[in-house]
Amino acid sequence: MTKIILCGCQGHMGKTITELAKEKDGLEIVAGVDLKNDLTASYPIYSEIADVREQADVIIDFSHPSLLESILSYATEQSIPAIIATTGNGEAEIEKIHAAAEKIPMFFTYNMSLGINLLTGLAAKAKEVLGDGFDIEIIEKHHNKKIDAPSGTALMLADAVNDGSFEYVYDRHSKREARGKKEIGISSVRGGSIVGEHSVIFAGTDEVVELKHTAYSKKVFAAGALSAAAWLINRPAGLYDMKDMM
């Protein structure tokens, strides 16, 4: 039985993971961490991870970047593998994740969907085949409650097609000039209840290639997180992602 501590358990993703875990054999959420405490939950909920007393095999984090340091401290002190799936982590936070991975198994990704990670590989292959003759634009769409932009997934896609020579452009209205050849445009849309949609556009002369992924339910991310939880335990210390699990 894989025992899980779920950080951000009362958020949309946390609740989805909770429901999906009930359908999975061999998985059990033994404790949750959230500022909101639902007394009807099937497991105890703590406002801080440091207060958790239940024994666990792995931590899944879908909370907030501000809680990352406390989660990493607890994970390293208790020698518990951790899956960091929270979006909005900056360079400083990512450095802390890398540091923790020197001591324990860490799983870090901008998107837990198997399809998105396939899209990332396809985009990298398309860039390799199409070369520099195609302009690259990335469009991401999410619900109106998402606070970070662009999405971490959009940046992951951009990094996959960037050989290090491209500049990311998030805003074109402030300057009136032709698009540069070494630009990757990244556009964000926020509205309604869009779960997640990402498109990578390769625009060439007289032809356009577009790669696209649409998530219709948060269950795709929850399923990926639970699969990663079962996969990560018993791994040696190090930094892992969806490519390793795939």
142: annotated active-site residue: yes
**Identified catalytic residue from 24, 64, 103, 146:** 146
Q: Which two tokens stand for residue 27?
A: 């998985």
190-202: b or e for each residue (b if 16 or more CB lie within 10 Å)?
eeeebbbbbbbbb
**Cis peptide before 44, with omega less than 30 degrees from 0?**
no
Nearest to 241, CA basis, from 84, 124, 108: 108
Amino acid at 6: L
Q: Which two tokens stand for residue 215?
A: 């998530």
146: annotated active-site residue: yes
**Identified catalytic residue from 142, 198, 213, 218:** 142
| Contact partners, residue 209, CB within 8 Å, separation at least 6 | 126, 130, 134, 201, 202
- Residues with a catalytic annotation lie at 142, 146
